[in-house]
Structure 1
């Protein structure tokens, strides 16, 4: 490719889909993303099957927030990371890989090849501040939108709300 030739994916307007670093189970953390300067997602409650928590950790200062889907604060997130946030970090590492999560959150770990525990421990050492729960509503909304796509019947017809996605094949 040194001769200036572009690969097929570089010529198209689509981006490559990066496969998960490792397979993960969606029951505990059904939704995780690195977006809006945060690691954020939805974590199932350990005690109530009808409750989920929206958890997030901000890049850089590690400000964290955890609340239920109806904005009730998590009882375990008082001054330190709760189990929901620890589960979120663990699943993010499975989804994206520890190095990518650490790089996104700007975490310096002592380990050359960090794991979820090393990333969480390095962030917790800084005594992170309690974050703003204002991001919970958009994160939960995106999660519900993802769930709605699972209910659609398989089809090759275009979805109107996804019309802006580029075609999978370049039209010549």
Structure 2
């Protein structure tokens, strides 16, 4: 059994409804500030910090101008809220001196490496958006205590490693 790690702090889901550390990346979905029907799928790879940010329709973010856009910065901020700065830094292999760094410290350390836009950005966008939609589907299920077959792998709240 796996231990369920509680969030470092409660998050507000309006701006960044989905954030995860998976597949060697910090990745997630960030709401558009100007269009309620548009979201951006942003990601930052571990170690080299290759980044991508595209709309849910695979159009590139207009804010990517050789560095992190505001969507990526919002994603980093919410990852720190969700997982804690130390865990995000370890996962992304960011060398920072602070034991529990803030989001702006992580973004500054990654930017200092001069990361480049990821070549596989559009492929990542599709994968992350698909995972987000699958998570949303669980919200539409009726409340029940019966087990869901597709969730058999998920640890129970009382399970510890």
User: Do both proteins adopt the same fold according to a TM-score greater than 0.5, normalized to the shorter chain?
Assistant: yes
Question: What are the ranges of 5 or more consecutive residues in structure 1 without an aligned counterpart?
Answer: 1-13
Provide the C-alpha distance between the structure 2 equivalents of 1:94 and 1:164, rounded to a whole number of angstroms. Answer: 26
State the Cα deviation string for residues 55-102 of structure 1 (Å, max 9, x = none): 000000000000000100001012100000000000000000000001
Provide the C-alpha distance between the structure 1 equivalents of 2:111 and 2:158, rounded to a whole number of angstroms. Answer: 46
Count, aligned residues: 157
State the Cα deviation string for residues 109-156 of structure 1 (Å, max 9, x = none): 243431000000000111101012111111111100111101111111
1:140 aligns with 2:129: yes
Aligned pairs for 1:26-45 within 5 A: 26-45=13-32
Relative contact order (alpha carbons < 8 A, sep ≥ 6): 1 or 2 greater? 2
Give the counterpart of 1:113 among 85, 100, 110: 100
CA RMSD after TM alignment: 1.7
Provide the C-alpha distance between the structure 2 equivalents of 1:110 and 1:151, rounded to a whole number of angstroms. Answer: 43
Q: Look up the SS of the partner of 2:147 in the other structure.
A: coil
Aligned pairs for 1:4-15 within 5 A: 14-15=1-2
Q: Look up the SS of the partner of 1:32 in the other structure.
A: strand
1:18 aligns with 2:5: yes
1:155 aligns with 2:155: no
1:164 Cα deviation after fit: 4.3
Runs of 4+ in 1 over 2 A off after TM superposition: 110-113, 160-170
The alignment's TM-score, normalised by the length of structure 2, stands at 0.92
Give the greater-gyration-radius structure (CA): 1
